[in-house]
Amino acid sequence: MALGGAAAVAGAGGGTAWVLASGDGGSDGATDAPGKGRSAEPVDGTFTTPPAAVAPQPLWHKSAKEDGTSPGVPLLTHDGLLLVSGDPLVAYDVRTGKARWSKPGICRPGAQLLFHDGKVFLADGDYEGALVAYDVRTGEETWRSRLGKQLSVEDTIAIDDRNVYVTAKDHGQSKSATEYRTAVAAVSHTTGRTAWVQHRDWGTRDYDVQGTASGTYLVYADSNLNLTVRDTATGGQVWTRKIGEEWSWRPTVAGGLVFLPGDELKALDVEKGSTVWTLAPAGRRGFGNPTAVDGVLYVSDHDDGVWAVGVKTGKRNWLCDELDVAGPETFQRVGSTLYGATGSLDGGIVALETRTGRLRWTYTDSKAVGEPWRLAVAGHRLMATHGHEIYALPAV
């Protein structure tokens, strides 16, 4: 399949494939797997770069149980393991794709995989209102924590060097048999002790908050169309404001700014909430949520173009409009290459030159999964998911 004006490999049956090196079967039981029967595992951990405009083959491919993963959740990689949110929660070896451990019943649907110091933190799978820490290497429970008799942990929001931030429901404050007041809380991820609890306004929900912890600020969006900033030390509200018609995105914070997607890309002062700069889409149809890497924002517009924008200035460095797949929703940068994972339709993984934005290659599996692609980096490997399909690609 030719993509981006070049022969980018698109799965089994997609024409010429770039086989990096022969080895033991890398598909590990996969069906219809790109690169089946081949792997690329050189001794020094680096990979041969395929010809220009040709995507590499997967090193291995796994098919998880359908409806057993949460496709909208970022992946977690640590110490040679890949964790994919779902039930069961499975830790895959990034070199082979084999499961190191599998734990049913501990990961709620859509649960984030928040990680720090060898532990992953989840709201308990039995819905009893606890926050639970699991050892990433073994999957064993390390500790579980409760906020109090009347407060139950409902979801995790964000994590930093000190705390895990969660939403909670206060069963002691109710307007009816079904409407309870919600709260935000911070729990120390070393001790499991509650650092603070702050109640939210009546009418806010406990399950629809997406947030980021950055420096001294916890920043989150909710389905009441609010963007809220709190002090991470006390939980005190710094400011809140309405953000328009879209809330289902995890705020990006960098350089003292928080960025709002929409018809224009806006940068707000994270301390004051005032607008610092605004970027118009130059006749295109607005922006998605950006990813910040080393002072640069990478963001797709609604016409499937990719922009590189200065964090501090809001000035465009380049625009790539040569993609033949949907614009990426998330990005990872490895050396001089920017990798993007696209949305659910006409999707795949793209590789761009970070200096110019030029398209290097596109990988897609041609599977009608109807779910977004996700991407994480593990050393010299790109770990990618497309719904319940899981791939390891060389970062070349």
Q: What tokens does 136 get?
A: 């990433």
pTM of the model: 0.86
**Which pLDDT score, from 0 to 100, does residue 131 have?**
97
Contacts of 225 (CB under 8 A, 6+ apart): 242, 243, 244, 245, 247
Whether omega before 290 lies within 30 degrees of 0, making that bond cis, reads no
Q: Are 328 and 311 in contact (CB under 8 A)?
A: no
Counting residues of the chain whose pLDDT is more than 70, the rounded percentage is 87
Q: Please write the tens of the pLDDT for every residue from 6-60.
A: 333 343 323 333 434 323 333 333 333 333 323 344 434 667 777 878 888 999 9
Contacts of 227 (CB under 8 A, 6+ apart): 219, 220, 221, 240, 241, 242, 243, 251, 258, 260, 268
Look at residue 224 and tell me whether its pLDDT is greater than 60.
yes
Q: Please write the tens of the pLDDT for every residue from 103-135.
A: 999 999 999 999 999 999 999 999 999 999 999
Q: Are 132 and 122 in contact (CB under 8 A)?
A: yes
pLDDT bin (cut points 50, 70, 90) of residue 201 is confident
Out of 158-172, 240-254, 307-321, least confident range: 240-254
Look at residue 350 and tell me whether its pLDDT is greater than 80.
yes
**Which pLDDT score, from 0 to 100, does residue 357 have?**
96
Tell me the HSE value of 269 on the side-chain side, using a 13 A CA sphere. 7
**Which pLDDT score, from 0 to 100, does residue 247 have?**
67
Measured in whole angstroms, the distance separating CA 316 from the mean position of its chain's CA atoms is 24
Look at residue 191 and tell me whether its pLDDT is greater than 80.
yes
**Residue 251 carries which DSSP code?**
P
Out of 10-14, 58-62, 194-198, 370-374, least confident range: 10-14
Out of 245-249, 343-347, 358-362, least confident range: 245-249
Contacts for 330-335: CB closer than 8 Å, 24+ residues apart? 330/74, 330/291, 330/374, 330/375, 331/291, 331/293, 331/298, 331/375, 332/291, 332/375, 332/376, 332/377, 332/382, 333/293, 333/294, 333/298, 334/377, 334/382, 334/395, 335/395
- Better-scored residue on pLDDT, 148 or 12: 148
The residue among 115, 108, 40 whose CA lies nearest residue 79 is 115
Look at residue 370 and tell me whether its pLDDT is greater than 60.
yes
Look at residue 366 and tell me whether its pLDDT is greater than 60.
yes
- Segment 252-279 shows an average pLDDT of 95
Rounded Cα–Cα distance for residues 236 and 84 (Å) = 33
Tell me the HSE value of 183 on the side-chain side, using a 13 A CA sphere. 23
**Which pLDDT score, from 0 to 100, does residue 37 have?**
29
Q: What tokens does 263 get?
A: 């018809």
Rounded Cα–Cα distance for residues 174 and 368 (Å) = 45
Rounded Cα–Cα distance for residues 261 and 252 (Å) = 10
SS3 328: strand
Rounded Cα–Cα distance for residues 55 and 313 (Å) = 34
The residue among 20, 306, 23, 378 whose CA lies nearest residue 391 is 378
